[in-house]
Amino acid sequence: MQKRKVIALEDVKNEISNIIKDLNSTTACFTGHRSQKLPWRFNEDDERCVAMKSTLRFEIEKAIHRGYKTFLCGMALGFDMICAETVIELRTKYKYIKLIGALPYASQSDRWPMQCRIRYRNLLAQLDDVRCIYDEYIGAECMMERNRYMVNNSSLVIALYDGLSGGTKSTIDYASKQGLEVLIIKP
């Protein structure tokens, strides 16, 4: 008769914790300003936006070379959508990277201009997975809850941040308190 190995519950919890840490160590997330708060607003042909996109691409590729394989994106207007498009473009070169959308609520884009909704839907169709925090809008808290979810499941935050208060600053502050590396790109 074979002896059965008894595994303590605490050992199982520790093993699960280690697995989660390993997953987080190869996951990065994005935070940044919406189009309305960017110096170029919705004009992504503006030379400042073009320069930012180049820097962003460089930083994402640098993260990939450091071992990051999964990218979490909040899929909001502005920086988030640019990040999603950049990761999707880089997937042609790095076939193993994944892009996961972290939506604050299911109908996030319903009030956006039609052109933005079309862009958003095209991006959603190219995601490897989607996490939706709430079924419906419950107030601004759902955005912060989405941001905390991304930080809690990452070890690197790539941020577009101008130094002013708001959701991006709150996310950066939260990430710093959690001990994450925060890489800031200036708009």
Does pLDDT of 19 surpass 70?
A: no
pLDDT tens figures, 126-168: 999 999 999 999 999 999 999 999 999 999 999 999 999 999 9
Rounded distance, CA 145 to CA 135, Å?
A: 13
31-78 pLDDT, tens digit per residue, is 999 999 999 999 999 999 999 999 999 999 999 999 999 999 999 999
Q: What is the pLDDT of residue 22?
A: 56
Could you read off the pLDDT of 83-95 as tens digits, one per residue? 999 999 999 999 9
Model confidence at 122, in pLDDT bands (50, 70, 90)? very high
Pick left, alpha or beta for residue 157 (phi over 0 → left; psi -120 to 50 → alpha; otherwise beta): beta
Quickly tell me which residue has 């300003």 as its tokens: 33
How many helices (H) and strands (E) are present in the chain, helices listed first?
6, 6
pLDDT at 24: 72
Q: What is the SS3 assignment for 134?
A: strand
Query: pTM for this structure?
Result: 0.88
Domains parsed from the chain with CATH numbers: 20-185 (3.40.50.450)
Instruction: Copy the structure tokens of residue 43.
Output: 């004009």
Q: What average pLDDT does this structure show over 97-117?
A: 97
Mean per-residue pLDDT, 5-14: 67
Say yes or no to pLDDT of 1 above 60: no
Q: In this predicted structure, what is the pLDDT of residue 5? A: 67
How much is the pLDDT for 10? 74
